[in-house]
Amino acid sequence: MKLKLLSLALLALATLFGCKETAQAESEVVAEEAEGPDYADFDRKVAVIAAFYEAHGNEDLGAVTEMLSDTMQWSPPGYNGGKWLGKEDLLGALKAYHDGFEDIKYTSGIVTADDTVNGYWSGSVFPEAGASNSADVIRVYGTWHAKYTETGNEIGLKFFSLIAVNEDGKIVSASDYFDVGGLMAQATATE
């Protein structure tokens, strides 16, 4: 009898520990799924950015204005001591481009030796301490083309930006990087 009771006790303990391990494994899977990348959020934010660039290319300042948060912060491409500017500053810069250029067109993508590849990225795995799978900030790569109205010169400009879009689908920050001097050199060239 004692042997049967001992066997039942051991079976109960094995079952208890087995269920505990299964529950832990299931909770780890759920945690991994909850922490996985939100591709729909990324796609939604990329759509906002693409629509913003399309509206800029169409010189539709009204549509561009609607896509920006009222508290939007902008870091312009020309070095300004690291000062963040606001929505009105960005709108003023975009209006200057509309006034000075025609046929503004944006093409997304990173130019490689063999092809042009994806222009929108987010998240990272390196460095490990800062690894992220969120779409909080979208890295944007592409090329702008336009014609400078004053000279008729065609320009091409590689472009990079870090853009954040809020839950309301509004751009809340943008940090732009491109060669402003190279842009003006192409625009005003006399050859």
Please give the Cα distance from 159 to 138 (Å, whole number).
Answer: 14
Q: What three-state secondary structure class fits 93?
A: helix
Please give the Cα distance from 185 to 191 (Å, whole number).
Answer: 11
CATH class for the domain made up of 38-188: alpha beta
pLDDT at residue 29, rounded to an integer = 46
Q: What is the per-residue pLDDT across 59-108, written as a single tens digit (0 to 9) for each?
A: 999 999 999 999 999 999 999 999 999 999 999 999 999 999 999 999 99
Q: Return the minimum-mean-pLDDT range out of 7-11, 51-55, 187-191.
A: 7-11
Q: What three-state secondary structure class fits 137?
A: coil
